[in-house]
Amino acid sequence: MKLNTQNLSQLPERVQRPLYDRKQVRQGIVHIGVGGFHRAHQAIYAEMLLNRGKAREWGICGVGLRSEDRAMQEALASQDYLYTLYELGDSDNTQIQVVGVLGDFLLAEDGSEALIRKLADPQTRIVSLTITEGGYCTDDSSGQFNADLPQIRHDLANPQQPRTVFGFLTEALARRRAAGVKPFTVMSCDNLPHNGRVARNALLSFAKLRDLGLHDWIASNVSFPNAMVDRITPMTSDAHRSQLLEETGIEDAWPVVAEPFLQWVVEDKFCNGRPCWEEVGVQFTDDVTPYEEMKIRLLNGSHMAMAYLGALLGHRYAHEAMQDAQLLAFVRAYMDRDVTPLLAEVPGIDLENYKDTLIERFSNTAICDQISRLCSDGSSKLPKFVLPSLLGQIEAGVDMRRTALILAAWCHYLRGLDERGATYPILDPRAASLQKAAGLKERLVESFLGLEDVFGHKIPASATFVAIFRLQLERLQTLGVRATLELTMAEEVGANERKLATLI
């Protein structure tokens, strides 16, 4: 049975469906970057409110800025923008839900004017973003906006025909300002530290290059709340589509699969109203920082801890890595001994319970979260997920061997060959330069840690860390992953890591 509006009444009883009249929903949110995460996270909170008979002015219009978004747009349009959320977990309380909050989907390549008008429409009160870490055109090590990118130069020269998110937002805000219309809130839902601050810096940097007066108006009137978002959402495969069809009879061209867990903590800083998301579980706060650091360093950092070592061992899914007792012990030790001591208190959160929950989520066999997904874009992920903890360790002068092993494993992983002899692609926009640095026979460590756009200045300047990194990399190269893990976990740790360095 093809998924569409006409067939909603024929869905199996166990499948949840929209409990509201979709024709009555207005699109108060424009979301740029309609990937699986958005459809499994923010859209679900909006759907829950609609199913309660509330927030009908807060439907969603999706936007795709990339040419590859067309396949998704056409698939969703063919089924009236309905899609299925297929929860996968090891318990029996998982849900299958048809979601109707997405009412339209605009593609930038079909014409920039229609998209600018949508953003400039007074009905649009929130513009949310999932454009990935690299979409903010910001240097990871310096935090500076990269105005020299060709697409940025294009948008500054052609403000009526933009290509980037910042070109579209700036032109729409310029029109709202000229018309005396209140601005929209810019709400980043990307998984990066201080995401609202990053979005603000990027948009203001772009606007300043275009029009100083507009820059000042945006700075004074547009809000950019920081948010912590969390739901493991692997790539949907043909196997998932077949599984959904077999279980429910639903033929969905673009479903999304996700774990049952769902969390969103966001700063209550909206300049033009917001939905009452707190009624469906969203936590509003004045400062998201402690929640954000907890999630990014413990969950995402631990993903990095398991991903590269797991890939080198030949594991293909996260649950396989968690079934590996040696790797599980390493990941938990990293959480307990390397990350937790550097975290501030998180209001309302028991960190021990939180870490237990993370291990349980990582161990979910039903979701089959791909190790390759976790390994991708390491040059963008590691500076955000692991390096902040490492910098804290360097400053405190404490044990860094596990953190060094994570980074050494990444370097070793960049060879593209696991310990079983299987090859794999390196999915990273910096793949060529990374593999060149990681493949050197002489001065490999200096070359690799000298990648300033990844590691910055402080890390390669730490002689203690460089020595430990060198040792861990040499162990991986000569002894292999298992022996290196065994040595790392068995060694006694002195109070002062510099003492250990003198023995290396």
State the pLDDT confidence band at 492, using cuts at 50, 70 and 90: low
* In a shared domain, residues 261 and 296: no
Residue 457, pLDDT score: 94
Q: Which residues lie below 8 Å from residue 111, measured CB to CB, with a gap of 6+?
A: none
* In a shared domain, residues 281 and 294: no
* In a shared domain, residues 38 and 172: yes
Task: Indicate if the pLDDT at residue 358 is higher than 90.
Answer: yes
Long-range contacts of 486-492 (CB under 8 A, 24+ apart): 486/326, 488/330, 488/401, 488/402, 488/405, 489/326, 489/329, 489/330, 489/333, 491/401
CA geometry: angle at 312 spanning 307 and 315, to 5°?
A: 65
Cα 437 from chain centroid (whole Å) = 26
HEC secondary structure over 22-90 = HHHCCCCEEEECCCHHHHHCHHHHHHHHHHCCCCCCCCEEEEECCHHHHHHHHHHHCCCCCEEEEECCC
* In a shared domain, residues 270 and 366: no
Alpha-helix residue ranges (DSSP H) falling in 125-282: 150-157, 165-179, 195-210, 212-221, 238-248
Residue 243, pLDDT score: 94
**Ramachandran region, residue 416 (left: φ > 0; alpha: ψ -120 to 50; beta: rest):** left
Q: Poorest-confidence range of 236-250, 254-268, 386-400, 479-493?
A: 479-493
Q: Poorest-confidence range of 59-68, 138-147, 401-410?
A: 138-147
Task: Indicate if the pLDDT at residue 499 is higher than 50.
Answer: no
Per-residue pLDDT reduced to its tens digit, 197-248: 999 999 999 999 999 999 999 999 999 999 999 999 999 999 999 999 999 9
Mean pLDDT of all residues in 75-81: 98
> In the chain, how many domains are there?
2
For all residues of the chain together, what is the average pLDDT? 95
Residue 22, pLDDT score: 98
* In a shared domain, residues 274 and 367: no
Is 293 in contact with 193 (CB distance < 8 Å)? yes
Residue corresponding to tokens 């390196």? 426
Q: Which of 473, 484, 468, 307 is nearest to 386 (CA)?
A: 307
Alpha-helix residue ranges (DSSP H) falling in 334-400: 351-362, 371-375, 378-385, 387-396
What domain range is 161 assigned to?
Answer: 5-285
* In a shared domain, residues 381 and 494: yes
Is 225 in contact with 267 (CB distance < 8 Å)? yes
Residue 139, pLDDT score: 82
Long-range contacts of 266-269 (CB under 8 A, 24+ apart): 266/187, 266/225, 266/226, 266/227, 266/228, 267/196, 267/225, 267/226, 267/227, 268/225, 269/185, 269/196, 269/223, 269/224, 269/225
Is 229 in contact with 189 (CB distance < 8 Å)? yes
Going through 226-300 in order, the beta strands assigned E by DSSP cover 227-230, 256-258, 263-267, 283-285
Domain boundary among 255, 285, 315: 285
Rounded Cα–Cα distance for residues 456 and 388 (Å)? 11
Per-residue pLDDT reduced to its tens digit, 91-148: 877 899 999 999 999 999 999 999 999 999 999 999 999 999 889 999 877 789 999 9
Residue 502, pLDDT score: 43
- Give the Å distances, CA to CA, from 350 to 159, 302, 304, 346: 49, 18, 23, 8
CATH code of residue 71: 3.40.50.720
* In a shared domain, residues 308 and 262: no
State the pLDDT confidence band at 319, using cuts at 50, 70 and 90: very high
Rounded Cα–Cα distance for residues 80 and 94 (Å)? 25
* In a shared domain, residues 221 and 198: yes
Residue 493, pLDDT score: 47
Is 411 in contact with 446 (CB distance < 8 Å)? no
* In a shared domain, residues 214 and 309: no
Domain boundary among 257, 285, 313: 285
CATH code of residue 340: 1.10.1040.10
pLDDT-above-90 percentage for the chain: 94
* In a shared domain, residues 420 and 304: yes
* In a shared domain, residues 336 and 377: yes
Q: Which residues lie below 8 Å from residue 165, measured CB to CB, with a gap of 6+?
A: 32, 65, 129, 131, 135
Residue 495, pLDDT score: 38
Domain boundary among 259, 285, 311: 285
* In a shared domain, residues 184 and 75: yes
Q: Which of 160, 191, 155, 156 is nearest to 264 (CA)?
A: 191
